[in-house]
């Protein structure tokens, strides 16, 4: 960008850019990363951005699985309202928690460069090292199915609450172990906690480790500001994973994993669908051009085509 366009963008800001976020420590850390990226790339003063923390419905409900009470919208509803109203200029999300189909009035304008995509096991050095019938807390149908595939003796129970609350429950002995995304732990400066589980054993959730920024589609000014902090490779990889998920018509009940990597002009997508009890799964991979928007859906159809009637039924087929 030339010096003149930079000046023009700066001049257009007559008040701080309001960045909407959930108020959990992880969400605040993510929004701060977006704020810092903007300050750094646009050369702004710290007072030219403002974090606007909001409580999401999902934060108020701690005793049931998300899947049972309204799914991913519980994380986006409040922020959507504020973004639609113009109370905030953008909303920062963990892309893993964002529905595949979003209101047309919003657009994903940026994704920060993706962090570590592994899951980490807290409470034991490996899945095999867990005691017989150990109690493992997770709220993720994917992690539950992948754990049971490896160890069908494990007692998988629902765990809710933010990262700190979950770690406390392990400390207190309420659960023997849990799984958390390495990306989230790192953002909370806790990346040394637990043991890394390989992507072979636990392929991550679609969009795991990616932070996205949504803006109003019509707001070309903020779109342009966000474009400057976006990682093209992360955007392409996460978009492929989300297209895969969309074709499956999966929701947060569905045990699904997908991970794409970008190598030059090629996307490599690996994905897997499982029965909730881990007793069956189908996995596959596909490599395609970065411009190919139908390949992820074709992989989804291929996996479903190889699935048993029971596994198809998990995806309403
Ligand atoms: N569903 C909660 C959630 N959403 C995003 C992350 C971690 C950060 C990320 O994957 O980007 C987490 C916690 C976890 O899975 O451990």
Work out the pLDDT band at 194, boundaries 50, 70, 90: very high
Q: Which atom of ligand 1 is nearest to the CA of 210?
A: 11
Across the beta sheet with 155-157, what order do the strands follow?
155-157, 135-137, 177-181, 119-122, 195-197
CA 228/CA 35 separation, integer angstroms: 12
**Residue 113 DSSP one-character state:** P
Q: pTM of this prediction? A: 0.93
Partners of 179 in the beta sheet?
121
CA 267/CA 116 separation, integer angstroms: 18
CA 297/CA 283 separation, integer angstroms: 14
Q: Where are the domains of the chain?
A: 3-114+209-230, 119-197, 242-314
Give the count of beta carbons closer than 10 Å to the beta carbon of residue 6: 14
ipTM above 0.90, yes or no: yes
Catalytic, 97? Answer yes
Ligand 1 center from residue 208 Cα (angstroms): 7
Q: Which atom of ligand 1 is nearest to the CA of 211?
A: 11
Q: What is the DSSP string of 287-301?
A: EEETT-SSHHHHHHH
Work out the pLDDT band at 4, boundaries 50, 70, 90: very low
Ligand 1 center from residue 10 Cα (angstroms): 33
Query: Which position among 80, 89, 97, 219 bears the catalytic label?
Result: 97
Q: Judge whether residue 70 has pLDDT over 80.
A: no
Cβ burial of 242 (10 Å; 0-12, 13-18, 19+) is buried
Task: Give the binding-site residues of ligand 1, using a 6 Å CB cut-off.
Answer: 94, 96-97, 180-181, 183-184, 208-210
Q: Ligand 1 atom 8: the closest Cα is on which residue? A: 184
In CATH, the number for domain 242-314 is 3.30.160.40
Domains 3-114+209-230 and 119-197 share a fold: yes
- What pLDDT is attached to residue 1? 46
pLDDT tens for 14-59 read 899 999 999 999 999 999 999 999 999 999 999 999 999 998 877 7
pLDDT tens for 237-271 read 999 999 999 999 877 789 999 999 999 999 999 99
CA 156/CA 143 separation, integer angstroms: 10
Q: Judge whether residue 231 has pLDDT over 50.
A: yes
Domain 119-197 in CATH 3.40.190.10? The answer is yes
Radius of gyration from C-alpha coordinates of the chain = 20
In CATH, the number for domain 3-114+209-230 is 3.40.190.10
């Amino acid at each position: 960008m030339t010096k003149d366009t930079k000046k023009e963008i700066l001049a257009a800001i007559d008040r701080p850019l309001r960045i909407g976020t959930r108020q959990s420590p992880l969400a605040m850390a993510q929004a701060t990363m977006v704020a810092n990226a903007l300050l750094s790339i646009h050369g702004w003063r710290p007072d030219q951005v403002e974090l606007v923390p909001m409580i999401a419905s999902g934060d108020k409900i701690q005793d049931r699985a998300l899947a049972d009470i309204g799914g991913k919208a519980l994380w986006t509803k409040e922020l959507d309202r504020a973004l639609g109203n113009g109370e905030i200029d953008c909303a920062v999300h963990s892309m893993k928690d964002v529905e595949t189909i979003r209101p047309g009035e919003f657009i994903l304008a940026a994704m920060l460069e993706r962090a570590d995509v592994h899951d980490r096991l807290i409470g034991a050095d490996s899945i095999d090292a867990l005691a017989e019938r150990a109690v493992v807390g997770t709220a993720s149908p994917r992690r539950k199915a992948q754990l049971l595939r490896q160890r069908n003796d494990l007692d998988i129970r629902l765990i809710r609450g933010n990262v700190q609350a979950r770690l406390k429950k392990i400390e207190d002995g309420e659960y023997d172990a849990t799984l958390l995304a390495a990306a989230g732990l790192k953002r909370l400066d806790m990346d040394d906690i637990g043991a890394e589980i390989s992507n072979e054993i636990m392929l991550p959730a679609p969009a795991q480790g990616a932070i996205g920024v949504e803006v109003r589609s019509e707001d070309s000014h903020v779109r342009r500001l966000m474009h400057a902090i976006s990682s093209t490779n992360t955007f392409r990889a996460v978009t492929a994973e989300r297209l895969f998920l969309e074709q499956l018509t999966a929701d947060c009940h569905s045990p699904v994993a997908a991970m794409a990597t970008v190598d030059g002009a090629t996307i490599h997508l690996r994905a897997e669908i499982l029965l909730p009890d881990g007793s069956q799964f189908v996995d596959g991979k596909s490599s395609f051009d970065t411009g190919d928007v139908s390949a992820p859906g074709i992989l989804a159809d291929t996996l479903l085509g190889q699935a048993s009637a029971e596994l198809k039924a998990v995806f309403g087929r």
